[in-house]
Amino acid sequence: MAVTWQEMTRDERLALLTQPTKQVMMRLLMHPDNNVKATTEIQGLITTFSLSIDSSTSIRRTANIALHNITISEVPERLSTLWLNRVVRAEYGIAHHITGTMVWFPIGSFVLSENQYSVDIEQREISLTLLDMMAGATQERGNPIGSELTIPAGSNVRSTLEDIIERFVPHHQHVVLNFGSTIPYDIEKQRSTYPQEVLDEIVGLWREYQHYYSLDGVYTVDFAPLTYSDAPTLQVDEMAAIVLSESGQNSYADIKNCTEIWGQELDASHAADSCVQTDGTYAVHIDDAFNVLEDGMTISVVPDTDSVASQRMKVQGTPMYPMYIQHGDGTFSLLPQGRMLANVSYVVEYTEQRFVLQGESQIHVMAMEFNTEPTETVKAQYRQTYNCPNIAFVVNPFSLYACDHEGMGLMKTVLEGGEYENIYTTALALERARYETWKTSRAKSTKTLRCLYVPWLDVNQKVSYRSIVDGEAHQYIVNKIAVNNLDGTMTIEMTQFYPLYSWMRGTLWGSVLKGTWGDRLSVAWSDVSDGGVWGSKTGETWNSRLNQRWQDMLPVAE
């Protein structure tokens, strides 16, 4: 009786992979569209199978396949029509060591790369080069948008992404996570722009998201799976059974424990030369000739004090109006206390008898990593030294590369221009700075393993691995996979996983944007309830719970 790989236990799958000798095959299922039943099936023995999966590229999967002794379920009259307008679902089969039946593993859903194929019916051979379905949004197999495209600020992110897929990409199936956000600025593209460029720009505004075509050929936007709660795809014992060799490298020259980001710069139609707080009202002076507020005008101001609750503004002799912030759904609320800081430049828009805060004139933030919480005096010194009021002081007691770790000091990287110019709020910039510091304050510990081919392993998944070099066990994130099935092996490139960092939305500390270490402990302590951080644990001291929390989060595979 045939069994699918999903129905097999972990032990059964491992036994399948580690057979002393294996019979392997490939089958190609041709679909006129990725949601339509296959019209043609080709099976054959593998003479060439190279597969590359790279999480850092838009087209994640590419494959070169050559089969011989093929069988074709139905030979079309014109072979060219079989390839150029078909989705190819590739599956890798391993004969079960007991039943002899093939167990099929999905490799991906692809389109043909240009015209790279050949079929010899008499010799019963086939070879082809495949790209995953993101190619339909690029110059590889897609078309430019063909007309100027403007996406106005305030557009719903999810609806915009779905609209681009449905209008400009040949493969329409999609699953897009609801961002709960809107497009922050007008996006304008020329006629020669390919859809993938627009998709990249939009998704790239939120670092915690990723977009790709899934194994089933569905355009997918979801969270990058880097949170601590993700279970490893392969455990320590499973990795031990498949690993053949290990190599690694540490890039210490790239280690940084501080990230400074210069984001979007906002232009204003008027520049104020003073902004003075008096009884809850900012008195703004532009120039002596100014006397009329025009709807839609913008003013750059530098307030002398922090904003108060229900802050108001008055420009010279014009009427006084309340100040607001605008939310992503288009609604407004009164400017909260402390939203505007003294001696920081902001842009404010006048519209419909109210002043609406647009943001800082120049988004400027920093993130610094420390082993222990800095004092308020030290924090103030850093803010003054770098002329940056928006500094995230992130505490990781286990980091070997923190600013206050012995012999380290502050090692800074500055990010500006290019994609960073699209960062339009301080909150987003702080999240990005945290993320970049998370990456650069690690030892860049990378391992490359040569293993038996594991068809169900994918990039952006975690594995637990005990090094055959030093015997230490850690969790790792898989970044790249390269398969060469002439010898039945794959090479995986992976980096060590460090969970003790709060840049990712949805983590324990994710909602604490600029809080102190004490604030974060308070968040954990407040969650001591059934189903909370500690579940139903009772009768424990503060120290025992805290120590257990850290032990639970240590990046060590058990």
Q: What is the reported pLDDT for 330?
A: 64
Kindly give, in sequence order, each residue whose CB lies less than 8 Å from that of residue 73, ignoring residues fewer than 6 positions away: 40, 41, 42
Stretch (H or E) spanning 198: helix 195-203
* Tokens of residue 143, six digits: 């078309």
Asked if 101 contacts 3 with a C-beta cutoff of 8 angstroms, the reply is yes
Domain ranges in the chain with CATH number 3.55.50 = 149-223
Asked if 54 contacts 63 with a C-beta cutoff of 8 angstroms, the reply is no
Asked if 157 contacts 199 with a C-beta cutoff of 8 angstroms, the reply is no
Burial class (CB in 10 A: 0-12, 13-18, 19+), 345: middle
149-223 topology per CATH: Phage tail protein beta-alpha-beta fold (3.55.50)
Q: Which long-range contacts (CB under 8 A, 24 or more apart) does 506-514 make?
A: 506/223, 506/227, 507/227, 507/228, 508/533, 513/392, 513/427, 513/430, 513/431, 514/390, 514/392, 514/430
Within 10 angstroms of residue 222's Cβ, the number of other Cβ atoms is: 14
d(CA 110, CA 90): 8
d(CA 138, CA 119): 26
* Tokens of residue 260, six digits: 């400074």
In tens digits, what is the pLDDT along the chain, a chain of 558 residues?
567 888 899 999 999 999 888 889 999 998 887 777 888 889 999 999 999 999 888 899 999 999 998 888 866 555 555 666 789 999 999 998 788 899 999 999 999 886 556 777 677 888 889 999 999 999 888 889 988 899 987 789 999 999 999 999 998 899 998 877 788 778 889 989 999 999 998 998 877 788 999 999 999 998 776 555 678 899 999 999 999 999 876 666 778 899 999 988 888 899 999 999 999 999 999 999 998 999 989 999 999 999 999 999 999 999 999 999 876 556 788 998 888 888 888 999 999 999 999 878 888 999 999 999 999 999 999 988 998 888 989 888 877 788 998 888 899 999 998 878 878 777 778 878 888 887 787 655 678 999 999 999 999 888 999 998 888 888 888 999 999 877 889 999 998 776 544 444 333 333 333 333 333 333 333 333 223 333 333 334 433 433 344 334 333 333
Q: What is the reported pLDDT for 165?
A: 95
d(CA 122, CA 278): 90
d(CA 17, CA 240): 13
Q: What is the reported pLDDT for 517?
A: 34
Q: Is 550 left (phi over 0), alpha (psi -120 to 50) or beta?
A: alpha
